[in-house]
Chains A and B, each alone.
Chain A
């Protein structure tokens, strides 16, 4: 009979203290997103499989939880929110004035074996900004990501900013065939530098061109990286990518988050739909990224409604872990008043509790009459700040 007490692989319960911490962070994020003018949307937990795999999502297909509807069409649980929101923007929101500024907070599902902080069901909050292709939009998204981590209580974190077009331009500059390009992209994404060097060495390239390709994952640091990257760019596309990063950085200074930003041109992200600036956020002693996002200008075209877009998502559980790492252990539960009463005061106690609650207090009303002694014990055991006792 152990089975009935288990939860499925990759899922978890949040006990009251954990759920309270999660709720506090989600509320702060919702408030922050709203303060930037992003409005929340809710989409179905399941979508048609072809919707989720429309825009470069085929690599994720084997990680989706699938089922069939009554017509035997394949459904899948959403694995992220960017694709469902793109569907929404290309359908029911199609004739709404642009830009669309949307936010979400939901659980998403990906099947995977045990991996660090990667549950099969996990919680994401994020925003999407649709209809604007300029650096200003990207800067707003990155600033919002940084401020999200700040309102979640994290002090120590870094956002690494890359641009997928930089590596793309370098590969085109050398006329590399698409299958080699995707191999190189894959090696850069995984930072398998041994493999990257092997692939590049097998190509018949000039030394400087080969060195440039090998150097991509090592382009990490402050603004000096942009100069190095510019010097390596012998093509329009890469140069534009570097200029784009410089422009975003300039805007970020006004948001007071520039000191949290590093450049890293080896960041390509694991979804295939990214087309421009991309970023990931990290905190010390947490071995995986806390948040990530970037520009995806072609996804809506795949849904039949051409429109540039950018956005980000952050992992709620990962933020909770990072908070613990940074010594933030606040108990978000508030327990204000325990209300005990004698045998003949039941009616008065209910009225008193209602009054206090109407005045905004958090009140636990004893479920049975108690002596004052017992009420004091209950108050202490349940950790209430104040005891009100109605004597008989």
Chain B
């Protein structure tokens, strides 16, 4: 389970199908919360770490945004689109510095938390860019002259507007996904498949 925006929605959804545990809330200081009766262990991690736990099989299944899955490039099974956590990844530039075509930004600097997705996107269009990896407040980049543009996730667009940035191209849409480790999927197929079926009925 990822801390942050997806946590509440995920636990609520899982609770509907009886997958819950006493004391399972985000403010809990415990890292692992167990429900012995239901044979469940909830591991609470930072958002970007969920994929690692699942890829290595330390967790059998996890809930995480599609954007994080693609950026981490991990080899996990993607079983279900949970529909929530909707956002999209896009490129934005300061309103007053817009250029006519996307190609006109070639060889400029782009600040992003998602360098891998950004590079795939631009490389697919024959564009080389200079990627500056930031870990937060991406929109600062163009304001202070660190970069010409940003590639970031947007939910409502408020942050963009407040910072006089304008989206010029959408890169990918993202929602929360149920993921599974490839071996767990086979060795615990019945439980995992039931989880998928049950979740489908409450989505």
- Which A residues are closer than 8 A to B by beta carbons? 113, 115-116, 158, 160, 190-195, 218, 220-221, 262, 264, 280, 282-289
Contacts and interface: CB of A to CB of B under 8 A. Distances in A.
Given A116-B55, A195-B78, A287-B56, A160 B186 contact: yes
Contacts of B190: 221
B78 A116 contact: no
Contacts, number: 62
15 contacts: A113-B73, A116-B55, A116-B56, A116-B57, A190-B75, A191-B78, A191-B180, A194-B78, A220-B193, A221-B190, A262-B186, A283-B183, A286-B57, A288-B182, A288-B183
Nearest to A192: B78
Interface residues of B, number: 24
Given A191-B185, A264-B186, A287 B55 contact: yes
Contacts of A160: 186
Contacts of B66: 194
Given A218-B193, A287-B55, A288-B182, A282 B187 contact: yes
A285 B58 CA distance: 7
A35 B102 CA distance: 64
Contact of A194 (B177, B182, B189): B177
Interface string B70-98: 00010101111100000000000000000
Contacts of A288: 57, 182-183
A143 B181 CA distance: 26
Nearest to A280: B186
Contacts of A283: 183
A192 B180 CA distance: 10
Which 3 pairs from chain A and chain B are nearest by CB?
Answer: A287-B57, A191-B77, A192-B78
A224 B185 CA distance: 18
A264 to B, nearest CB: 6
Among B58, B79, B80: residue with most chain A CB under 10 A: B79
A345 B55 CA distance: 60
Contacts of B81: 194
Contacts of A282: 183, 186-187
A139 B81 CA distance: 38
B77 A192 contact: yes
A287 B188 CA distance: 12
A347 B79 CA distance: 72
B57 A285 contact: yes
Given A218-B193, A282-B187, 9 more contacts: A158-B186, A158-B187, A190-B75, A191-B77, A220-B186, A287-B57, A287-B184, A288-B57, A289-B182
A189 to B, nearest CB: 10
A190 B183 contact: no
B78 to A, nearest CB: 4
Contacts of B75: 115, 190
A164 to B, nearest CB: 17
Contact of B77 (A113, A193, A264, A284): A193
